[in-house]
């Protein structure tokens, strides 16, 4: 009951007088004054699309009723008791309604959906969050420094954990000229929190983002999510109209100049691999926002910022890889019982990363326009040789900008491919990933002909002497550095500067005692491969580079590892 109350009526602070944004405030400060207009814009566009097509209208209503009945019958909760009757009655009446009645029902359904999705932004909560959250994160990680952190700069506390890379000056300029759409890789439910902090310490504006409705069931997270501009995404709802509302809401926000964030991978990377197959729905909404503004002759550019979030230790690693390894897992979209929902795991996680230089690196890649072209410091789109072009030309047909859904869908597919290649290029390889790769490759090499699941059962049975391991680590690091110099990806400063022995000790220390099972541990002068599943998870980040960093005798094992990525 409380969960439903919180997810449907999130807490807001009372207003004595409405906040009047200043010209220097980020665009999101205007959100509350525009929210009703945005909802109404979304509703009217969807209703207009169904206005002249009776068959489509009837299909939309039937689809909504069918999927909602199915969902609510399965849920059998309080919401089901409230709403099931409405949908059952509606599905019986659809065929008997005249067109006017059907349009009225559509309007009601879409309005309810849009209101449910739309977020809220409270500048007071924002200011509180930007002052306190970084200090709390720092404090949780190092309790003895909490007193110091509460009076010190919030950036100082956070800076111990989080490193930000990228051309921040460029992004700071662009945010004042158009809509930025941050499109990060997705490894953990911590990502949106960490990214929000990275934006804050980089002097970049807050963004709107979609958050799973399940996150709103935690009262504290719900309060912050709801009051910091997050819009709610209920992944249980399969209704086509609902997906349409979500996309259009995102589109309208971007059209109006709100900076956005969404994870094109759709869900956390279960395997730990760099995402290749991206979900195109929200990406498409940003492309269409650009087109719509062009058709309306509104000069408001849209730029995408490919972003990689790189952790040396992933909070939910065990659950994610377990999920990937089971067929059921691949179909499971929302995990509600993972480490993210266990506060003791949070504390253990934060304590573990304390003092570990660069435990998380956020890398903002080069911004691109909706057509994958790089953008200069003045926000102009460039050809590969640096000639300035007008991105508006991409949506012209015979000299005029026109709306064309099929064309924009094709642009979106191409943009997805560009982002996937940027993710690879902007990945920063961390110590645990490099060490896990060398160990996992040794496992593959030691077990010729064995399948993946056979290898994963070899817990604690394979080991490698430290001297060989250090040598292989050194060689792998040198080859990775060479690839990095050619722009294939990046390696963290730690990987670059540590000796192979320090690298090994660092990775073992990250793993020691955090996960329920240990990925690898040292026994005398040997390193024992403890949980191959965890090694697999961490090493999966290196799958695209496996063959390029292998020596002649490691090539066969590396080839097997590369094939793991064939269906990612």
258 touching other proteins, by CB under 8 A: no
d(CA 377, CA 173): 8
Residue 278 half-sphere exposure toward CB, CA atoms < 13 A: 26
297 touching other proteins, by CB under 8 A: no
383 touching other proteins, by CB under 8 A: yes
d(CA 325, CA 150): 43
Closer by beta carbon to other proteins, 99 or else 402: 402
d(CA 409, CA 418): 14
385 touching other proteins, by CB under 8 A: yes
- From candidates 36, 73, 169, 390, binder to other proteins by CB under 8 A: 390
Closer by beta carbon to other proteins, 299 or else 344: 299
Q: Least CB distance from residue 400 to other proteins, whole Å? A: 11
Q: Specify the 3-state DSSP secondary structure of 499.
A: coil
406 touching other proteins, by CB under 8 A: yes
Closer by beta carbon to other proteins, 203 or else 405: 405
First to last CA, the chain: 39
Q: Least CB distance from residue 20 to other proteins, whole Å? A: 40
Closer by beta carbon to other proteins, 417 or else 525: 417
d(CA 293, CA 406): 17
Subset of 137-176 contacting other proteins (CB under 8 A) = none
d(CA 216, CA 336): 12
Number of H helices, E strands in the chain: 24, 16
Residue 146 near residue 269 (C-beta atoms within 8 A): no
What string marks each residue from 312 to 351 as x (binds other proteins by CB under 8 A) or -? ----------------------------------------
Closer by beta carbon to other proteins, 51 or else 547: 547
Residue 245 near residue 106 (C-beta atoms within 8 A): no
- From candidates 101, 169, 396, 502, binder to other proteins by CB under 8 A: 396
Residues constituting the chain: 568
Subset of 360-379 contacting other proteins (CB under 8 A) = 371-373
Q: Least CB distance from residue 304 to other proteins, whole Å? A: 15
Q: Judged by CB under 8 A, which stretch of 224-232, 305-313, 404-412, 435-443 contacts other proteins? A: 404-412
Residue at token pair 């299909």: 59
Subset of 542-561 contacting other proteins (CB under 8 A) = 559
404 touching other proteins, by CB under 8 A: yes
Subset of 487-546 contacting other proteins (CB under 8 A) = none
What the block records as the tokens of 312 is: 């040396």
Q: Which helix (H) or strand (E) holds 328?
A: helix 327-331
* DSSP class per residue in 390-427: -GGGGGEETTEE---HHHHHHHHHHHHHHHHHHHHHH-
Closer by beta carbon to other proteins, 339 or else 408: 408
Q: Which helix (H) or strand (E) holds 462?
A: strand 462-465
132 touching other proteins, by CB under 8 A: no
Task: Using CB under 8 A, list all residues that contact other proteins.
Answer: 371-373, 381, 383-385, 387, 389-394, 396-398, 404, 406-407, 410-411, 413-414, 559, 566
């Amino acid at each position: 009951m409380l969960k439903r109350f919180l997810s449907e009526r999130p807490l807001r602070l009372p207003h004595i007088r409405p906040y009047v944004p200043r010209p220097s405030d980020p665009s999101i400060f205007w959100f509350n004054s525009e929210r009703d207009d945005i909802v109404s814009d979304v509703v009217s566009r969807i209703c207009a699309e169904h206005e002249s097509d009776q068959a489509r209208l009837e299909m939309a209503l039937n689809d909504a009723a069918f999927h909602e009945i199915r969902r609510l019958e399965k849920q059998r909760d309080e919401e089901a008791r409230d709403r099931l009757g409405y949908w059952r009655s509606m599905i019986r009446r659809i065929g008997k309604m005249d067109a006017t009645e059907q349009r009225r029902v559509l309007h009601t359904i879409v309005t309810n959906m849009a209101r449910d999705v739309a977020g809220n932004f409270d500048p007071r909560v924002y200011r509180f969050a930007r002052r306190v959250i970084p200090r709390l994160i720092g404090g949780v990680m190092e309790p003895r420094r909490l007193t110091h952190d509460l009076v010190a700069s919030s950036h100082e506390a956070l800076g111990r954990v989080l490193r930000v890379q990228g051309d921040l000056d460029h992004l700071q300029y662009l945010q004042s000229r158009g809509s930025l759409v941050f499109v990060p890789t997705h490894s953990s439910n911590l990502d949106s929190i960490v990214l929000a902090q990275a934006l804050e310490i980089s002097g970049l504006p807050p963004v709107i983002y979609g958050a799973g409705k399940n996150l709103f069931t935690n009262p504290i997270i719900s309060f912050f999510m709801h009051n910091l501009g997050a819009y709610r995404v209920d992944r249980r709802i399969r209704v086509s109209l609902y997906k349409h509302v979500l996309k259009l809401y995102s589109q309208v926000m971007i059209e109006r100049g709100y900076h956005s964030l969404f994870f094109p991978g759709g869900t956390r990377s279960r395997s730990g691999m760099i995402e290749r197959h991206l979900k195109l729905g929200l990406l498409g909404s940003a492309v269409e926002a650009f087109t719509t503004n062009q058709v309306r002759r509104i000069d408001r550019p849209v730029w995408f910022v490919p972003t990689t979030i790189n952790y040396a230790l992933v909070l939910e690693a065990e659950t994610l890889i377990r999920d990937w390894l089971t067929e059921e897992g691949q179909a499971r979209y929302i995990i509600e019982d993972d480490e993210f929902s266990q506060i003791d795991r949070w504390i253990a996680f934060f304590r573990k990363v304390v003092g570990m230089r660069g435990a998380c690196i956020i890398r903002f890649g080069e911004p691109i326009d909706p057509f994958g072209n790089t953008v200069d410091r003045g926000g102009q789109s460039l050809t590969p040789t640096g000639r300035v072009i007008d991105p508006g030309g991409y949506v012209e047909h015979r000299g005029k900008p026109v709306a064309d859904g099929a064309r924009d869908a094709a642009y979106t597919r191409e943009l997805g491919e560009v982002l996937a290649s940027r993710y690879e290029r902007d990945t920063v390889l961390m110590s645990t990933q490099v060490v896990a790769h060398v160990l996992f490759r040794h496992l593959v090499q030691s077990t010729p002909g064995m399948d993946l699941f056979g290898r994963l059962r070899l817990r604690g049975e394979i080991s490698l002497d430290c001297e060989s391991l250090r040598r292989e680590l050194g060689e792998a690091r040198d080859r990775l550095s060479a690839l990095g110099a050619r722009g294939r990806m990046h390696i963290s400063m730690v990987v670059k500067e540590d000796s192979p022995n320090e690298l090994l000790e660092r990775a073992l220390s990250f793993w020691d005692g955090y996960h329920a099972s240990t990925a690898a541990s040292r026994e005398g002068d040997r390193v024992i491969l403890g949980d191959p599943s965890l090694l697999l998870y961490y090493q999966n980040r290196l799958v695209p580079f496996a063959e390029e960093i292998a020596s002649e005798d490691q090539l066969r094992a590396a080839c097997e590892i590369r094939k793991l990525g064939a269906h990612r």
